[in-house]
């Protein structure tokens, strides 16, 4: 679980209180560049998390949105925003699943809603969500709570395997950067997602013992046997 300073969290999170109820709500503003932007909705909204309910404030008319289909390894058909509604009312999430927003211009999009997957312990907020198990494949994911500095393990739910990679998009340049885990470190920087950001996570199966490793173990056993045999003489 991840603990975060209450001061940092309060930049985007506040408590709404009334005589009848109390709920933790928040908002964040995302700077959107012309072209593709990988985004995630990190709140829970009533009555649902569909585009028409959560992705309209600040969205430029003519924008398109698509969700990633990990089973087909591709994007679903584009939904187009006409200035008031989306042609396909996709639903975000749940829990950090992202999408691709293509904007015709620079804009700032606002997300707001109920904060999920965070519990308050003293002055800290602790991230409590356990991601579902995901098999090998490519997924478009963000963190399931509005916190910055999200790590691979917090998003995927496990430590990286050799060959796992994360691809992030710089909206201002429209250039993707990929970093791959080599067993010790990430070869192009450790993944860390900002609030509202989604990245492509390409996951591989956990490696099995290789023939080289088995051969090495066999050679070591043979060497020990030869040494003992020589000493016996």
35-92 per-position pLDDT tens digit: 999 999 999 888 899 999 999 999 999 999 999 999 999 999 999 999 999 999 999 8
- pLDDT attached to residue 210: 58
Instruction: Work out the number of other CB atoms within 10 angstroms of the CB of residue 214.
Output: 10
- pLDDT attached to residue 94: 66
Report H helices in 129-210: 152-156
* pLDDT tens digit sequence for 117-135: 887 776 677 888 999 999 9
CB 33 within 8 A of CB 106: yes
* pLDDT tens digit sequence for 160-201: 999 999 999 999 999 999 999 999 999 999 999 999 999 999
* pLDDT tens digit sequence for 86-118: 999 999 876 788 999 999 999 999 999 988 888
* pLDDT tens digit sequence for 203-227: 999 877 654 444 444 444 444 444 4
* pTM exceeding the 0.85 threshold for the entire prediction: no
The tokens of 47 are what?
């009555």
Strand order in the sheet with 13-17: 13-17, 22-32, 107-115, 43-44
């Amino acid at each position: 679980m991840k603990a975060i300073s209450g001061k940092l969290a309060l930049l985007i999170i506040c408590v709404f209180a009334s005589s009848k109820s109390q709920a933790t709500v928040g908002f964040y503003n995302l700077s959107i560049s012309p072209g593709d932007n990988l985004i995630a909705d990190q709140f829970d909204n009533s009555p649902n998390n569909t585009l028409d309910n959560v992705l309209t404030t600040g969205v430029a008319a003519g924008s398109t949105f698509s969700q990633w289909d990990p089973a087909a390894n591709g994007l679903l058909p584009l939904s187009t925003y006409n200035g008031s509604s989306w042609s396909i009312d996709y639903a975000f999430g749940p829990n950090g699943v992202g999408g691709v927003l293509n904007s015709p211009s620079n804009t700032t999009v606002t997300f707001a809603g109920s904060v999920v997957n965070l519990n308050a312990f003293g002055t800290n907020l602790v991230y409590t969500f356990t991601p579902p198990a995901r098999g090998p494949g490519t997924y478009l994911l963000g963190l399931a709570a509005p916190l910055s500095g999200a790590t691979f393990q917090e998003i995927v739910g496990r430590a990286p395997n050799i060959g796992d990679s994360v691809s992030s998009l710089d909206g201002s340049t429209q250039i993707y950067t990929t970093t791959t885990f080599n067993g010790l470190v990430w070869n192009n920087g450790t993944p860390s997602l900002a609030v509202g950001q989604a990245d492509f996570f390409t996951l591989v199966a956990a490696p099995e013992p290789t023939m080289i490793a088995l051969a090495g173990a066999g050679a070591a056993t043979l060497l020990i046997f030869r040494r003992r045999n020589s000493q016996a003489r």
